[in-house]
């Protein structure tokens, strides 16, 4: 038996990876200047199963930060991951043990460089699927 659709799964996987990101625009007004835009990319799902695809939670931003805190909370609102450095990836482990599959909440609070002092906060959902 042959499955002619299987060669196309690689393209589908790439589409799903791209669709799994949430783009959160943040607009700040710098006194009299044009708008300053900062786009933060946070995946809406990761699959930390060791296959090398979407194994890490990685945050990308189109701006530099003077201050930044990123947290992931479990369903009981306990912090399971926290960083002040967006280059730090999370492997969905806490104390060397994998967190359960399911839905998590994330929050990012930041002040972008070249903006009037303003702290922006965004929240979203993250699903972990192994």
The residues spanned by each domain of the chain are 6-128
pLDDT digits (tens, 9 = 90+) for 57-77: 999 888 888 889 999 999 999
pLDDT at 125 over 80: yes
Average pLDDT, the chain: 77
SS (H, E, C) the chain: CCCCCHHHHHHHHHHHHHHCEEEEEEEEECCCCCEEEEEEEEECEECCCCCCCCCCECCEECCCEEEEEEEEECCCCCEEEEECCCCCCECCEECCEECCCEEEEEEEEEEECCCCCCCEEEEEEEEECC
pLDDT digits (tens, 9 = 90+) for 1-13: 444 444 444 433 4
- Whether pTM > 0.85 for this model: the answer is no
pLDDT at 119: 86
pLDDT at 35 over 60: no
Is 6-128 assigned to CATH 2.60.40.1220?
yes
């Amino acid at each position: 038996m042959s499955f002619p659709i299987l060669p196309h799964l690689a393209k589908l996987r790439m589409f799903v990876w791209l669709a799994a990101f949430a783009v959160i625009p943040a607009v700040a007004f710098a006194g009299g200047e044009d708008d300053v835009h900062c786009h933060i990319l946070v995946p809406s799902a990761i699959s930390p199963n060791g296959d090398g695809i979407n194994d890490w939670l990685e945050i990308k931003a189109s701006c530099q930060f003077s201050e930044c805190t990123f947290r992931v909370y479990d369903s009981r609102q306990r912090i399971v991951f926290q960083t002040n450095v967006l280059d730090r990836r999370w492997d969905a482990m806490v104390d060397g043990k994998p967190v359960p599959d399911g839905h998590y909440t994330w929050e990012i609070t930041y002040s972008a460089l070249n903006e009037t002092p303003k702290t922006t906060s965004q929240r979203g959902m993250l699903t972990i699927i192994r």
